[in-house]
Amino acid sequence: MQLERPSSPAEAVAALASGAVALAGGTEVVPLLREGLLPADRLVDVRGAVPRGVDGRTIGAGTTLAELEADPRIPATLREACRLAASPQLRNMGTIGGNLLQATRCWYWRLKFPCYLHGGDRCHAKAGQHREHAFFGNERCASAHPSDPAAALLALGARVRTDRRELDLAGLYRLPTEDDHATTTLEAGELILELEVPEAESSVYLKAMDRKRWAFALVGVAAARVGGETRIALAGAAPVPWLLDSPAALDAATPLPGTAYKVEIARALVPRALASL
């Protein structure tokens, strides 16, 4: 295996052009490489190439979750989502750009069951153990998106700038389809550089988890009022971060037998989140 350490976005993009894997904090990529879930013979350490830090409403994709957690300029929902994510060491290492791209924690996927996301024809979680899985968007794959910050950024209406385009955060994600199992719209070699985060009048993040710290969201509820408009987004609810049109939209949830409780939790947390705005 080889490793390159470019020092500019252009160099990084050039290095990534031929199928290399980008490595930032390493908290996700390194374990996936070891488990053979992410094949790579060339790594590009993009830490020196991707912008880092907060400038006005722009967040460099290389900014760590620990840095965001402590930054008073960041909207409360994102700060809290970072604060309640992962463990202190993982927040020190993990970047916001990488966090948005993390793979599902679905144990079947991680143990390489020939599931839908791995190119198979079914979701093993549905007939198996799925208490940490989805209650929306789970027609094919029942995995739950693990990112707390992604839900916060979705509620805030953040935009993403890559080396080649700008898009809404919502546009970064897609539900897997019959012919394409990807859960992001990122192209091969495309690199997230910055996030544009609107100022929020008020925002909040509430998270239900199995431990008080260092657990993925059973349900994460982000709510933000931006320009007079209120948006709600959920973590741990669907294979991608999930925008909830209104509290009533929970009636349209499609829980599995083992995730019905998550809908109950969301029914409790969404009104609390809205009430605190």
Partner 1 sequence: MPDLRVNGHDYAFDTNVGRSLADVLREDLGLTGTKVACGEGHCGACTVQLDGVPVLSCITLVHTVGAREVTTIEGLRDHPLVSAFVRTDALQCGFCTPGQIVSAAALVASNPDPTHEEIRHGMAGNLCRCGTYPRIEEAIATWRG
Partner 2 sequence: MVGRDSPRLDGLAKARGEARYTADVQLPGMLHTALLHSPFARSRVRRIDVAAAEAAPGVRAAIGPGAVEGLEAEAEYEGYAVAAVAAETLDQAEAALQLIDIDWEELEPLLDATVAVERGSLVADSRRYERGDYERGLGEADAVVDSEYRTQTLNHNSMETHQCVCEWRGDGIDVHISTQYIWGVRRDLAKALGLPEDKVRVVCEFMGGGFGSKAGVDSSLLLTAELARLTGRPVRCALTRRAENMISGNRNATLQRVTAGARADGTLTVLGGEYTCALGWDGWLPPTAGPTQLLYACENVRTVEHGAKLNLPPMAAFRAPGFVEGTWSLECVLDKLAAQVGVDPLELRKLNYAHADAMDGRPYSSKGLMECYRRAEPHWERRHEVRARSDEIWKRGMGMASQIWYGGGGPPSYAWVRLGSDGRANVVTAMQDIGTGTRTAMAMIAAEELGLTVDQVEVQLGDSARGPFAVVSGGSSTLPSMGPAVRSAAADAARQVIELAAQRFEREERLLSLKGGNIVSSDGGSWPLAEITGLLEDGQILGKGARGPNPTGMRVLTFGIQLAEVAVDVGTGEVVVEKVVAIHDVGRVINPLGARSQIEGGIIQALGHTFSEARLDDPQTGTILTRTLDSYKVPTIADVPEIVCDLVDEPDVHLTNLGSKGLGEPPIVPTAAAIANAIRDATGADVTSLPITREEILRALRDAEARRRKEPVAAGAA
- Footprint of partner 1 (CB under 8 A): 1-3, 5, 23, 26-27, 30-31, 33-34, 43, 45, 47, 66, 83, 86-90, 92-93, 212-214
How many Cα atoms sit within 13 Å of 106 on the Cβ side?
30
Q: How far is the CB of 274 from partner 2 (least distance, A)?
A: 14
Residue ranges binding partner 2 (CB under 8 A): 105, 107-108, 110-111, 113, 124, 127-129, 131, 208, 210-216, 218, 258, 260-261, 264-265, 267-269, 272
In angstroms, the CA 45 to CA 178 distance is 33
Which residue, 34 or 178, has its beta carbon nearer to partner 1?
34
Q: Which does 34 bind (CB under 5 to 8 A by kind): partner 2, partner 1, none?
A: partner 1
Which residue, 132 or 196, has its beta carbon nearer to partner 2?
132
Q: CA separation (Å) from 116 to 144, 188, 218?
A: 14, 21, 22
Measured in residues, the chain has a length of 277
Q: How far is the CB of 48 from partner 1 (least distance, A)?
A: 8
Cβ 85 vs Cβ 111: under 8 Å: no
Q: CA angle, 206 as apex, 168 and 244 as ends, to 5°?
A: 45
Q: How far is the CB of 11 from partner 1 (least distance, A)?
A: 16
Q: How far is the CB of 193 from partner 2 (least distance, A)?
A: 29
Cβ 255 vs Cβ 262: under 8 Å: yes
The full DSSP string for 208-219 is E-SSSSS---SE
Q: Is the dihedral of CA 266, 269, 271, 276 positive or negative?
A: negative
In angstroms, the CA 191 to CA 164 distance is 8
Q: How far is the CB of 85 from partner 1 (least distance, A)?
A: 11
Q: Which does 268 bind (CB under 5 to 8 A by kind): partner 2, partner 1, none?
A: partner 2
Cβ 133 vs Cβ 142: under 8 Å: yes
Q: Which does 93 bind (CB under 5 to 8 A by kind): partner 2, partner 1, none?
A: partner 1
Which residue, 52 or 79, has its beta carbon nearer to partner 2?
79
Among 161, 142, 102, smallest CA distance to 258 is for 142
Q: How far is the CB of 168 from partner 1 (least distance, A)?
A: 31
Which residue, 31 or 271, has its beta carbon nearer to partner 1?
31
Q: Which does 275 bind (CB under 5 to 8 A by kind): partner 1, partner 2, none?
A: none
Q: Which does 128 bind (CB under 5 to 8 A by kind): partner 1, partner 2, none?
A: partner 2
Q: Which does 108 bind (CB under 5 to 8 A by kind): partner 1, partner 2, none?
A: partner 2
Cβ 178 vs Cβ 203: under 8 Å: no
Give the number of other CB atoms < 10 A from CB of residue 172: 23
